[in-house]
């Protein structure tokens, strides 16, 4: 083959060779980048060797340098800076650099923490560091705003944040700022209010917050009110709980006529004190049904041991004589003792002011009625449908019972007695 022919052949294959070389480089780049991503968390040094520009590997390497027994502050900071130069938007790079500066005490890291928090709202490390500084500065608005940002990001440390802020809410500055933020109805509001009701904030502070919400464009929901009212009742503040409940009811749900609220189950049951509370318990079912135009309370049992006392309502009856009545039926209700309605004074749930006759077996709709007195010492009462078992064996129950047309009125015939 002549020299001219060889050159022509080489030139003919040169574009193919060049393409093959380019594809090889491109392929290696893909492979090295892919492997660098795989090893970024487990072996950042290897990941960097495969791809020196891999930001995940660089950040992981920087974190590893800081977590050594003898942290290499300078190398960690340099690595973070390199990542930022190559990718200014690299998630976590500012945070890692701020951590390096703070550990090394080489400069004030506070401005960098604030920059990291602004650039990455979901960066929990950056946000909590800025929050700590704002707490030291006692900046209520900034603290509430920071907690809002953290909670909106779906942070898993909710209980810790709630516990952190709760003591601050004892004072009016934080409490007022907190109430203003709650009035915007942030997605974490119900959870936080439940925490405050159950975990230590003084009831006066709680009342202030709920009173402010009541005046806002987003008043408390029934779900939010429930633990707050239960807290007031547990502390013996029944009158305040009742007034707050009453003040939050819409006009078409205000009590009227019967002393038993929602006595015929004509309104949706809210499970809030002073309305009916239906509590779930294994081995039973509580549901509302219909018989013509009437609403019926149905309670069913499935043969298990059930310490049942889970249909209840709080009352504030003044001293006097009363009549409680209604209609009831039973369907194969089997229990050693039976089921009954019982009135008791607040703080004394095991002592009966009055109770209906125990019912069991099977019988059609029939009337029941009891008369009873409320003394001046009994300022708040609870009505409960209960299984008055004296031992575990007496809790075993099956079958069903139904009630409708309940009524609680003053006993007009005996008010003078």
Q: Please provide the average confidence, as pLDDT, over all residues in the chain.
A: 80
Q: How far apart are CA 342 and CA 70, in angstroms?
A: 69
For position 257, what pLDDT does the model report?
84
Q: What is the pTM of this model?
A: 0.73
> Taking residues 67-79, what's their average pLDDT?
58
Tell me whether residue 94 is exposed, middle or buried, using C-beta atoms within 10 angstroms of its C-beta: 0 to 12, 13 to 18, 19 or more. buried
Task: Residue 337: count other Cβ atoms within 10 Å of its Cβ.
Answer: 14
Q: Phi/psi of residue 16, each to 5°? A: -65, -40
For position 152, what pLDDT does the model report?
85
Q: Which tops the pLDDT comparison, 102 or 145? A: 145
In the predicted structure, residue 82 carries a pLDDT above the cut 70: no
Taking only the tens place, the pLDDT of each residue in 316-367 is 999 999 999 999 999 999 999 999 999 999 988 888 999 999 999 999 999 9
Task: Answer left, alpha or beta for residue 266, where phi above 0 means left and psi between -120 and 50 means alpha.
Answer: alpha
Q: Is the dihedral of CA 46, 50, 53, 57 positive or negative?
A: negative
Taking only the tens place, the pLDDT of each residue in 380-417 is 999 999 999 989 999 999 999 999 999 999 998 765 54
Taking only the tens place, the pLDDT of each residue in 284-311 is 999 999 999 999 999 999 999 999 999 9
Q: Which of 96-100, 217-221, 272-276 has the lowest mean pLDDT?
A: 96-100
> Taking residues 261-276, what's their average pLDDT?
95
In the predicted structure, residue 161 carries a pLDDT above the cut 80: yes
> Taking residues 269-294, what's their average pLDDT?
95
Q: All domains of the chain, ordered by start, with CATH?
A: 44-253 (1.25.40), 277-414 (2.60.120.260)
């Amino acid at each position: 083959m002549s020299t001219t022919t060889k050159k022509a052949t080489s030139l003919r294959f040169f574009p193919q060779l060049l393409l093959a070389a380019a594809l090889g480089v491109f392929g290696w780049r893909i492979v090295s980048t892919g492997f660098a991503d795989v090893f970024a968390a487990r072996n950042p040094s290897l990941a960097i060797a495969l791809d020196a520009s891999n930001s995940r590997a660089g950040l992981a390497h920087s974190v590893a340098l800081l977590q050594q027994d003898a942290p290499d502050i300078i190398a960690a900071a340099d690595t973070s800076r390199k990542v930022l130069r190559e990718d200014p938007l690299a998630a976590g790079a500012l945070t890692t650099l701020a951590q390096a500066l703070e550990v090394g005490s080489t400069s004030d890291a506070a401005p960098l923490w604030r920059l990291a928090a602004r650039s990455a709202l979901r960066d929990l490390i950056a946000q909590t560091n800025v929050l700590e500084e704002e707490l030291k500065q006692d900046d209520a608005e900034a603290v509430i705003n920071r907690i809002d940002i953290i909670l909106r990001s779906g942070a898993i440390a909710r209980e810790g944040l709630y516990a952190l802020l709760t003591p601050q809410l004892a004072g009016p500055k934080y409490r007022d700022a907190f109430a203003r933020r709650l009035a915007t109805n942030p997605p974490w509001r119900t959870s936080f209010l439940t925490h405050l009701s159950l975990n230590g904030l003084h009831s006066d502070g709680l009342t202030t917050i709920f009173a402010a919400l009541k005046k806002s464009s987003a008043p408390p929901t029934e779900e939010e009110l429930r633990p707050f009212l239960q807290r007031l009742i547990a502390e013996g503040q029944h009158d305040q709980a009742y007034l707050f409940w009453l003040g939050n009811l819409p006009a078409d749900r205000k009590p009227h006529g019967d002393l038993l609220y929602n006595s015929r189950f004509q309104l949706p049951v809210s499970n809030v004190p002073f309305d009916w509370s239906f509590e779930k318990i294994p081995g039973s079912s509580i549901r509302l049904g219909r018989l013509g135009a009437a609403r019926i309370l149905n309670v069913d049992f499935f043969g298990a041991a059930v310490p049942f006392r889970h249909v209840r309502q709080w009352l504030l009856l003044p001293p006097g004589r009363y009549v409680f009545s209604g209609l009831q039926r039973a369907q194969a209700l089997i229990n050693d003792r039976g089921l009954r309605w019982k009135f008791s004074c607040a703080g004394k749930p095991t002592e009966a002011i009055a109770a209906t006759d125990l019912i069991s077996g099977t019988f059609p709709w029939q009337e029941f009625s009891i008369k009873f007195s409320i003394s001046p010492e009994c300022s708040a009462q609870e009505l409960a449908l209960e299984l008055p078992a004296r031992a575990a064996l007496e809790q075993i129950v099956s079958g069903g019972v139904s009630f409708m047309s309940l009524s609680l009125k003053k006993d007009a015939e005996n008010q003078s007695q």
